[in-house]
Amino acid sequence: MSRGMSVAVIGGGLAGLAAARLLCVRGMAVQLYEANGKPGGCCATTRVGGYTFNDGALFLALPAMLEHLFRRLELDRGALLPWRRISALQRTVLPEGTVVDLDAGRMTYARAGHTPMMYLPGPGCDALREVHVLAPEGLVLGLKIDGGEMFERLLAEESMKMHPGDLYVLFTDGITEAMNAGDDCFGETRLARLVEQHADLPSDQLRERVLREIDAFVGGAPQHDDMTMILLKVDAAWAGAPARAIDAEIVQVAER
């Protein structure tokens, strides 16, 4: 696109607003169209104490996304959009259905044919500091059997208390079933060992470490499945302060 062009951006969510701003910076005439009464998209879904924010999974990644966006736009985020900590009830639902209740400090999870969740207790937890594989009972999602009665009957929902320093790893089978030229899988054992060895790293660094190890393992073998991973870490200094409790990285790797 060249300077002076007229561009229409459909949708006034974060992506639409960012695209409109970037195009304006590049000298284009932009018209933004939004069906709702105000822009903001999913970030305008909940109001608590006079503040409007998203209460979905995006809430966890929003601060880092905004920091990156403001840098791209060459704007001073601190001056234009100062952070304000909130202590209101936060209940976040991650993409595969796991519920994180930041106010109560509990996680509720279920499994319907997904790969299991890995849990590494924090340093202050009484449990042994090694990876625990959490795999509650559940029928594969999407099977059309007896109108869903068997699915409802077999699905087991479990809940656990979160502790400072806890680390949770959710992943698709593209992570553990990444294969090398000899058709060997990366496997849950290697992933668990990596998590145990490098759990003290920030989420973004742990993510990169895992992906580098997978890349080195598969070598030049082609990628055969999507690779999606969610790292959820409870702040080691957390003492029931929801606003800073979670450091999360959600990564979708379409191709290496």
Position 171 confidence tier, pLDDT thresholds 50, 70, 90: very high
137 and 251 co-located in one domain? yes
Check if the beta carbon of residue 204 is closer than 8 Å to that of residue 219: no
- Retrieve residue 152's tokens: 């409802």
Reported pTM = 0.57
The number of distinct structural domains making up the chain is 2
Assign residue 108 the CATH number of its domain. Answer: 3.60.40.10
Considering the domain architecture, whether residues 29 and 99 belong to the same structural domain is answered as no
- Distance of alpha carbon 187 from alpha carbon 218, whole angstroms: 12
The tokens for 135 are 């795999």
81, 100, 117 - which closes a domain: 81
168: pLDDT strictly greater than 60: yes
Mean pLDDT for the stretch of residues 25-47: 76
pLDDT surpasses 50 at 84? yes
For residues 128 and 185, membership in a common domain is answered with: yes
Identify the pLDDT of residue 147.
Answer: 78
In the prediction, which pLDDT does 12 show? 81
Tell me: do 70 and 169 sit in the same domain. Answer: no
| Residues in a beta bridge with 160 | 107
Q: Based on the domain organization, do 127 and 195 belong to the same domain? A: yes
Which range of residues forms the domain containing residue 26? 1-81
90 and 45, same domain (yes or no): no
pLDDT tens figures, 226-249: 888 888 888 765 544 443 444 444
**DSSP element (H, E) containing 71:** helix 58-72
Last residue of a domain, one of 81, 101, 133: 81
> In 3-state terms, what secondary structure has residue 41?
helix
66 shares its domain with 94: no
For 27-166, where are the E strands, in sequence order? 29-33, 46-48, 51-53, 91-93, 99-101, 106-109, 117-120, 132-134, 158-161
Same domain? For 111 and 234 the reply is yes
91 and 169, same structural domain? yes
Q: Are 111 and 11 members of one domain?
A: no
For residues 204 and 100, state if they share a domain: yes
Last residue of a domain, which of 81, 103, 129? 81
Residue 50's domain is classified under what CATH number? 3.50.50.60
For the residues 136-155, what does the mean pLDDT come to?
A: 81
Q: Do both 76 and 95 map to the same domain?
A: no
